[in-house]
Amino acid sequence: MGYRVSSISTPHGVLETPFFMPIATRGAVKTLSSFDVERLSSPILLSNTYHLWLRPGLEVLKQFGGLHKFMDWPGVILTDSGGFQVFSLEGLRKLTSEGVAFQSHIDGAKMMLTPELCMEIQRTIGSDICMVLDVCTKLPATDDELEKALELTTQWARRSKDAFEKTREGSINPGAKLFGIVQGGTNLELREKSARALIDIGFDGYAIGGLSVGESCEDACQVLDVLDKILPEDKPRYFMGGAKPHEIVEYVKRGIDMFDCVLPTRNARHGQLYRFLHNDLSRPDFYETIQITNEKWKMSQERLGTDEELSRYTFGYLRHLFTIEEMLGGRLATMMNVKFYLELMKKIREQIKTGTL
């Protein structure tokens, strides 16, 4: 099937695909306000079920009527299940068929995350797009480990859907969508098995998990080539966990509609900025990554951008802010990088429409 332009309707707006989701893990994009992100023209944010469950907690979210009102965000919110974060707690968690038991990274409290609770948390958050609870396996992993994780992921996906439907009535966002998550590592047979099992259960969309964990772009593309032929054409596809700009182009060519990534915000806080070099996205050299603290930017009077705020400042001034460790530097750099990723997706959509990608 390959690349396509489509749309996803949600209770908080229509999303034109393919698109990128800035990361607002705990209810905020680091250094930016909700108004900042809205002004950058992002229609959607990604938040994390695990972190919001721990802080501020369900009681606070209920009191405020969900995350949209809590953070004053008018757009769409997607929440991942928190499974990746829980499975990252090496030595602090134990996997059972019921769910995953773990110790809070905050205070060491013993907790248990089940598919049913995962759905309850996301319903309380008021997410527009929810994710099933899945088993995240680190790579490299044996085929036996991947298959066992896959079996449990499929069981949890079915339980997640049952719980999601049971909690629809009376929830603050009854029109929310639920995505299944395809697992299987880089084993193509297991990926196909996972996808077909999830299709049998039936979801509003399908996420590809278990990538962006150290595998090569070539390995990821092999997985996506297989799934492109299997996943329903009328359902959105979400590549979880991020990609570099040139990798996003490759994944879009293989039918991916949705992306998230920590790189634009994380790199910004370390003074690493993305810039377009040309508009031929079929060439991987369409952009560069610069280090703003390098001496070459000390005297630069080039403006940071063309919008109302970024056009006021120069690269030389931004370098100064990073040199003196002024927080404004991280904020401006984050705005630049998020804007770059959003503009990249806009260019991709335009070039798909004109047949020039």
Place of tokens 């927080």: 327
Backbone phi and psi for residue 342, each to the nearest 5 degrees, phi listed first: -65, -40
Q: Which residues contact 99 (CB under 8 A, 6 or more apart)?
A: 112, 113, 114, 115, 117, 133, 156
Structure tokens at 147: 């298959």
Q: Cβ–Cβ contacts within 10 Å for residue 296, how many?
A: 11
- Give dist(CA 21, CA 15) in Å, integer: 11
Structure tokens at 199: 């299709």
Catalytic residue among 36, 80, 128, 134: 80
- Give dist(CA 68, CA 48) in Å, integer: 14
Helix spans in the chain (H): 34-39, 49-54, 58-64, 67-71, 83-87, 115-125, 143-166, 188-201, 217-228, 245-252, 263-269, 315-323, 327-354
The answer to whether 260 is a known catalytic residue is yes
Catalytic residue among 36, 128, 134, 260: 260
Backbone phi and psi for residue 293, each to the nearest 5 degrees, phi listed first: -80, -5
The answer to whether 307 is a known catalytic residue is no
> Reduced to 3 states, what is the DSSP secondary structure of residue 182?
strand
Distance of alpha carbon 295 from the chain centroid: 34
Beta bridge partners of 19: 258
> Catalytic residues, which ones?
80, 260
